[in-house]
Amino acid sequence: MRRKVIAGNWKMNNDLKETQNLISKLTSGLSMDNLNCDVIVCPAFTSLSEAHTLLKDTKIKLGAQNMYFETSGAFTGEISDSMLKSVGCEYVIIGHSERRTIFGETDELINNKIKKANLSALKPIFCVGELLEEREAGITEKVIEKQIRSGLMDISSEEMSNIIIAYEPVWAIGTGKTASPEQADEVHKFIRSLIYDKYGASISENVIIQYGGSVNNKNAKELLSKKDIDGALVGGASLKSDAFIEIILAA
Ligand code: PGA
């Protein structure tokens, strides 16, 4: 039985004070002893250190939204795995569709980042998902297969057991349009079959595959009831403590 994982991707929202407020509402609103799922929050880089301090005695884990694959050096504006580790991150989102589409990240770059994150034991939340025109053209599986195969190139079985996959159809992100639970579950099953082909039964049965794209407190329960949907990567609704807590409780 896979334990569900709910992650909040706060994107480019919340300054330091707003981060402190949101964390304080989450920690006071959740009963840590009765949490039946893993919870991760991914604030902006500038708030990670403070978030780590505030979350220290709670069960909420910390993640970052991106990283670069080099160790250090002349990469203005970038951040490394060891920097993220040093402020308490355990997870890092890699290959989010906004990174792919707005910042031009390629499958190869994403693969390098996943490899580097693994080296420092940061757990990647590796995002994949098709565009609306790709779904309409009937090539969703082809697109997902390419993203999965390229992103996981040269990733060992041992490394794979640290990786969470997030299926986020791009047309559902921030649009209010969610994939139906059936549509999502179908792609999740397909992703699990790709992991089975490459890594075998045990890893494919244990890999966490989150759904992301307009998850909210109204639709979370039904999505999370599907057999192959092991959690959610939540954007907009994770910025509102009440809605995010409801999603966590639905898991
Ligand atoms: P959304 O974002 O929940 O606002 O659609 C999800 C994501 O981009 O991870």
Cβ(223) – ligand 1 distance below 6 Å: no
Ligand 1 center to 174 CA (angstroms): 5
CA–CA separation, 66 and 211 (whole Å): 18
Sequence spans of domains, the chain:
5-250
Q: Give the predicted TM-score (pTM) of the model.
A: 0.97
* Interval 228-240 mean pLDDT: 98
pLDDT of residue 120: 87
Q: Which atom of ligand 1 is nearest to the CA of 127?
A: 9
Active site residues: 96, 168
Residue whose pair of structure tokens reads 């794209």 in the numeric block? 213
Using only C-alpha atoms, the chain has a radius of gyration, in whole angstroms, of: 17
Mean pLDDT of 80-95: 98
Q: Is the CB of 109 under 6 A from ligand 1?
A: no
Sign of CA dihedral 168, 169, 175, 181: negative
- Note the pLDDT tens digit of each residue in 149-206: 999 999 999 999 999 999 999 999 988 888 899 999 999 999 999 999 999 999 999 9
- Which residue's CA lies nearest to atom 1 of ligand 1? 235
Spatial CA neighbour of 127 closest among 173, 81, 84: 173
Of 99, 168, 246, the one to substitute when testing ligand 1's pocket (max ligand atoms within 8 A of C-beta) is: 168
pLDDT > 70 in the chain, percent: 100
The mean per-residue pLDDT over the stretch 91-97 comes to 98
Ligand 1 atom 7: residue of nearest CA: 235
Number of the ligand 1 atom closest to the C-alpha atom of 98: 8
Whether the per-residue pLDDT at 10 is higher than 90: the answer is: yes
* Contact yes or no for 211/251 (Cβ under 8 A): no
Q: How far apart are CA 225 and CA 229, in angstroms?
A: 7
Q: Does domain 5-250 have CATH number 3.20.20.70?
A: yes
Q: Which residue has the tokens 């989010």?
A: 96
Q: Which atom of ligand 1 is nearest to the CA of 93?
A: 9
Residue type, 46: T
For residue 121, report the distance from its CA to the centre of ligand 1, in Å: 25
Ligand 1 center–CA 41 separation, angstroms:
13
Q: Is the CB of 169 under 6 A from ligand 1?
A: no
175, β-bridge pairs: none
Mean of all residue pLDDT scores within the chain: 96
- Check residue 230 and give its pLDDT: 98
| Sign of the dihedral through C-alpha 18, 5, 161, 59 | positive
124 lines ligand 1 (CB under 6 A): no
The response to whether residue 233 sits with its C-beta less than 6 Å from ligand 1 reads yes
Which residue's entry shows tokens 């349009």?
177
pLDDT in tens, 11-57: 999 999 999 999 999 999 998 888 999 999 999 999 999 999 999 99
Q: Which residue's alpha carbon is nearest to atom 3 within ligand 1?
A: 235
The first and second tokens of residue 17, run together, are 């004070």
**H-helix segments, the chain:** 16-29, 48-55, 81-86, 97-102, 107-119, 132-136, 140-151, 157-160, 181-199, 201-206, 220-224, 241-250
9 C-beta closer than 6 A to ligand 1: yes
